[in-house]
Amino acid sequence: MAVINGERVSIVPQSIAAYLKSAGYNEKRVAVEKNLRIIPRGKWTDEMIGEDDSIEILNFVGGG
Amino acid sequence: MEDKLILGGHEFTSRFILGSGKYNLKLIQAAVEQGGAEIITLALRRANTRESENILDFIPKGVTLLPNTSGARNADEAVRIARLSREMGCGDFVKVEIMHDAKYLLPDNYETVKATEVLAKEGFIVLPYMYPDLNVARDLQNAGAAAVMPLAAPIGSNQGLATKAFIQILIDEIDLPIIVDAGIGKPSQACEAMEMGAAAIMANTAIATAGDVPAMAAAFRKAIEAGRSAYLTGMGRVLARGGSASDPLTGFLR
């Protein structure tokens, strides 16, 4: 199982770009971290995620 | 002579830093416009696929984004959040905010100095939120902070300048902009901090919980401008005792 934003999910190996698109994230407005390593936007089509990965997908919200 | 706020080499005309938490996204543009704010704070959180609206779509162009590291409980977490925020492509500013006390939300000054040092070396323009302590402010300056952001009172409390005497010490002794952050609840308190020589005011809850958000942002703008003008002018003197007539003391009708 992969862990995506704290939730355990079963995913087939795929690129970050493919995952963001299929899951419905607003790709223009997120940053992605894989196993505590930031994956720059330019590498999303090459960087794969799979069953053992821990992924954080983040965006800006209102804050003080 | 133009009076500019300079942070990390960037010039700002406005001395009002607006927080964007706790209110409707649709009010942000009006609050920014009415408040004349050129810097707005944001937080980084896990994204979800249910919300189609993103705060970045509601912030007017030309406004500088100041992501905070809220949620960080130590320096390592703050550095991680700052790096991820920069990855969003919105600039190098970061407000370091580290706390692990949910009751008073007081910042951890020690961890804040550590995070500031790491981030400044990485080229961030670091604005650390801190408890007003002169020694820590000096440490933050040595660590490369672009400004120091002492709290006036606990976050979100609207209690005003509870730490006034200690903020004044920072203003007097630290050669960096002192931006009063957290706890400012009313325009009069923002004005008072500016009269003391604060470089800017950061406010969120006072505006977010007001009856009319844009109108309160406008009230803060005026108060901050008034306080700044008074500070630059030099305050009138205070008499320790007695009074001093404002009218001529001759030519009375008898």
- The shortest C-alpha distance from A8 to chain B (Å) reads 15
Among B20, B27, B29, B46, which would you mutate to test the A interface (most chain A Cβ atoms within 10 Å of its Cβ)?
B46
Angle between helices B213-233 and B28-35 (to 10 degrees): 20
CB proximity A58 to B under 8 Å: yes
Residue of A nearest to B56 (CA): A60
Q: Torsions phi, psi of B199, nearest 5?
A: -85, -30
B19–A58 CB contact, under 8 Å = no
Q: Which residues of A touch B21 (CB under 8 A)?
A: 61-64
Contact B78, B98 (CB under 8 A): yes
Q: Which residue has the tokens 């509870």?
A: B162
Confidence of residue A19 (pLDDT cuts 50, 70, 90): very high
ipTM: 0.94
Domains of chain B in start order, with CATH, are 5-47+64-233 (3.20.20.70)
**pLDDT for B52 beyond 80:** no
The single-letter DSSP state of residue B152 is S
At residue B15, the pLDDT reads: 98
The reply to whether B69 touches chain A by the CB within 8 Å rule is no
Chain B residues whose beta carbon lies within 8 Å of the beta carbon of residue A5:
46-48
Assigned CATH for A2-58: 3.10.20.30
The pTM of the full predicted model, rounded to 2 decimals, is 0.92
pLDDT of amino acid B1: 65
Residue B219 burial (C-beta neighbours within 10 Å; 0-12, 13-18, 19+): buried
Residue B26: the pLDDT is 84
Q: Please give the torsion angle defined by the CA atoms of residues B216, B218, B222 and B228, in that order, rounded to the nearest 10 degrees.
A: 90
Give the start-to-end residue ranges of the domains of chain A. 2-58
